[in-house]
Chain A
Amino acid sequence: EAGVTQFPSHSVIEKGQTVTLRCDPISGHDNLYWYRRVMGKEIKFLLHFVKESKQDESGMPNNRFLAERTGGTYSTLKVQPAELEDSGVYFCASSQVWGTTDTQYFGPGTRLTVL
């Protein structure tokens, strides 16, 4: 069974540009999560989808970040316009059951560098 996949693995953009990250969860997993780790700091929650609905988006930094999950399958996270402080590794995770006590399977992450 394929795990969680993310694309691209790396992205280098200039301040003010737009970047879209993609996450493909494990097939059949209704729950999809986005996290971000800024260099040397903790992994921080961004948002949680249950199927196509945003269950919790309290961790989204600001309105420059837009996450979608049309059709309840893959998800995209768009940053527009990107700022220097958006640099970091963006992780996606998925789980089968709703509830944080269900194991979340993480993707390899997308390393975003904003110059």
Chain B
Amino acid sequence: GESVGLHLPTLSVQEGDNSIINCAYSNSASDYFIWYKQESGKGPQFIIDIRSNMDKRQGQRVTVLLNKTVKHLSLQIAATQPGDSAVYFCAETTGNQFYFGTGTSLTVIP
């Protein structure tokens, strides 16, 4: 089966600092990856995606890095704000189903 996991289940950062959330995946055939943010009481919300033919993609305050050699995905959040506090999930797919990680809980300390 698939194995998509996160290195750290919880992460606390000071407001204004940068956050890095990591994710490991096991299927080298996965060609599409997504980061989702889940706030309390809500469903996962799309943040940013990346295809396997890229190694970096930037959005607004977020950057996703993909290292296919070591099958590692990371989400960087610049100038972390209190509103960034949430659980972050990575997901991978080969084109059929999505496989999600267990999630990392990010807490921003004011």
Which residues of chain A have a CB within 8 Å of any CB of chain B?
A: 4, 35, 40-45, 48, 56, 58-59, 91, 93, 99-101, 103-109
Which of B42, B43, B97 has its CB near the most chain A CB atoms (within 10 A)?
A: B43
A43 & B96 in contact (Cβ 8 Å cutoff): no
Report Cα–Cα, A105/B103, bound state, in Å.
18
The answer to whether A101 touches B103, judged by C-beta atoms less than 8 angstroms apart, is: no
Residues of A within 8 Å of B41, CB to CB, are 108
Q: Are A91 and B93 closer than 8 Å at their CB atoms? A: no
Would you call B73 an interface residue if the criterion is a C-beta within 8 Å of the partner chain's C-beta atoms? no
Q: Tell me whether chain A's interface is mostly helix, strand or loop, or mixed.
A: loop
Q: Is B110 among interface residues, defined by CB-CB distance under 8 A? A: no
- Decide: A100 and B93 in contact? CB cutoff 8 A: yes
A-binding residues in B (CB < 8 A): 4-5, 32, 36, 41-46, 49, 89, 91, 93, 95-103
Interface centre among A40, A56, A106 (most CB of B within 10 A): A106
- Distance to closest chain A CB from B100 (angstroms): 4
**B43 adjacent to A109 (CB under 8 Å):** yes
Q: Does B100 lie within 8 Å of A91, measured CB to CB? A: no
Residues of A within 8 A of B91 (CB): 43
B36, B45, B96: the one contacting A100 at CB < 8 Å is B96
Given A42-B103, A43-B89, is A100 in contact with B98 using a C-beta cutoff of 8 Å?
yes
Closest to B46 in A: A103
Whole-angstrom distance between the Cβ of A23 and the nearest chain B Cβ: 11
A48 CA / B36 CA spacing, docked (Å) = 19
How distant is B20 from chain A, measured CB to nearest CB, in Å? 20
Chain B hits for A91, CB < 8 A: 43-44
